[in-house]
Amino acid sequence: MARNDHNEQAGSQLRISFEFFPPKSEEMEGQLWATVDELSRWNPDFVSVTYGAGGTTRAPTLSTVRRLISETTLPTASHLTCVGATKDEVRHVVDEFRAVGVRHFVALRGDPQGGMGTAYQPHPGGFANAAELVAGLREMGDFEISVSAYPEKHPESRDDAADIDMLKRKVDAGAHRALTQFFFDNDIFERYLERVRAAGITIPIVPGIMPIQNLTQLKRFASMCGSSVPSFLDDRFSGLEDQPQARAEVAAEVAAEQIEDLVRRGIGDFHLYTMNRTPLVNATLANVGLKPSVQAVAGAAA
């Protein structure tokens, strides 16, 4: 009973947002809109839709964002990158998204065109980095702007100081909040937040939470983006390879425990990487005491 009471108290303090990615097939499109419909019941502060490097998913991102804005009441942000594009091309994309109602961008430099792990080359006529992109967005309109943050340092940053300096440049250019890369060690996040505040950065730093769909795949992805996977996760999932239901329960418990611990440390905003799937997100939020509204957003899955 005490744990349930604590969970309800923690849940009542939370502000959440969700990340989706544009579908690549008809089947994936059906899954996305079923997920949007289901997760809308949690009344997120906003949802965001990813955007491939160099605009590789511009059309499906625009289509997804347009539908979210026109058919749901969910505040919707679009990711925006500047890799492989001139400033004029980026401005054209911004105008396209503004025309369908986008007023919030998640401004990112984007992965190198050669893929993660290859050298990044700024476009000669483009924005060199995310700080320049933020400044460009501020010149283009009165947009809400979120940016990225890296508790374990961006893989391409020289060191932690350079990484935080880039975040400060993005904030000085006009960013309103930072959404972090996923992490699993809250001590790492707390130390990062201390360094960020010491640098004079005062915007919200929103932890990115990744419910673990598949631990093996997660490790591969984490190794590419510079996130560590603590050994305790191996222990928690040990022996569950052939027990999908048990794995799902453990994954929801792990994510909920991470959120609850961050709440105890004074954090109230969380950005969940949904992977366009519902069950683990639902279970995680229920575990921390959040209660969904009775109805989903009308038209979201129509």
Q: What is the pLDDT of residues 210-225, one digit of tens each?
A: 999 999 999 999 988 8
Residue 23 to residues 62, 63, 125, 126, 227: CA-CA distances in angstroms? 11, 10, 30, 27, 25
Strands (DSSP E) found in 161-296: 177-182, 205-209, 269-273
Residue 299 forms part of a structural domain: no
For the chain, what is the domain count? Answer: 1
Which pLDDT value is given to residue 84? 78
* 139 among known catalytic residues: no
Residues spanned by the domain of 92: 2-287
Over residues 55-69, the mean pLDDT reads 88
Tokens matching residue 218: 């997660």
Which of the residue ranges 10-14, 92-96, 113-117, 196-200 would you say has the lowest mean pLDDT? 113-117
Which pLDDT value is given to residue 57? 73
Are 149 and 180 within 8 A, CB to CB?
A: yes
Name which residue leads in pLDDT, 99 or 123: 99
DSSP code of residue 90: H
CA distance 215 to 204: 29
Are 164 and 196 within 8 A, CB to CB?
A: yes
pLDDT band at 54 (very low <50, low <70, confident <90, very high): low
Which pLDDT value is given to residue 95? 97
- Reported pTM: 0.90
Over residues 187-200, the mean pLDDT reads 97
Which pLDDT value is given to residue 75? 98
Which pLDDT value is given to residue 124? 72
Q: Which of 8, 19, 27, 89 is catalytic?
A: 19
Are 203 and 164 within 8 A, CB to CB?
A: no
DSSP code of residue 74: -
Q: CB neighbours of 164 closer than 8 A, spacing ≥ 6?
A: 195, 196, 199, 201
Which pLDDT value is given to residue 293? 81
Which pLDDT value is given to residue 119? 56
Tokens matching residue 59: 């059309």
CA distance 52 to 193: 28
Residue 192 forms part of a structural domain: yes
Residue 296 forms part of a structural domain: no
CA distance 280 to 172: 36
Please state the separation of Cα 46 from the chain's center in Å.
11
Average pLDDT, the chain: 89
CA distance 269 to 263: 9
H or E element in which residue 106 lies: strand 104-108
Which pLDDT value is given to residue 287? 97
CA distance 48 to 77: 5
CA distance 216 to 221: 9
DSSP code of residue 297: P
Which pLDDT value is given to residue 226? 85
Residue 181 forms part of a structural domain: yes
Tokens matching residue 298: 């009308």
Given a cut of 70, whether residue 298 has pLDDT beyond it is no
Given a cut of 60, whether residue 102 has pLDDT beyond it is yes
Which pLDDT value is given to residue 116? 55
Given a cut of 90, whether residue 241 has pLDDT beyond it is no
Q: Report which of 156, 60, 175 is spatially closest to residue 110, judged by C-alpha positions.
A: 156
CA distance 29 to 192: 37
Given a cut of 90, whether residue 6 has pLDDT beyond it is no
Residue 301 forms part of a structural domain: no
The amino acid sitting at 152 is E
pLDDT band at 110 (very low <50, low <70, confident <90, very high): confident
Which pLDDT value is given to residue 302? 37
Over residues 245-266, the mean pLDDT reads 97
pLDDT band at 2 (very low <50, low <70, confident <90, very high): very low
CATH number at residue 120: 3.20.20.220
Residue 167 forms part of a structural domain: yes
Which pLDDT value is given to residue 58? 83
Which pLDDT value is given to residue 154? 85
- Burial class of residue 89 (count of CB atoms within 10 Å of its CB; 0-12, 13-18, 19+): middle
Residue 298 forms part of a structural domain: no
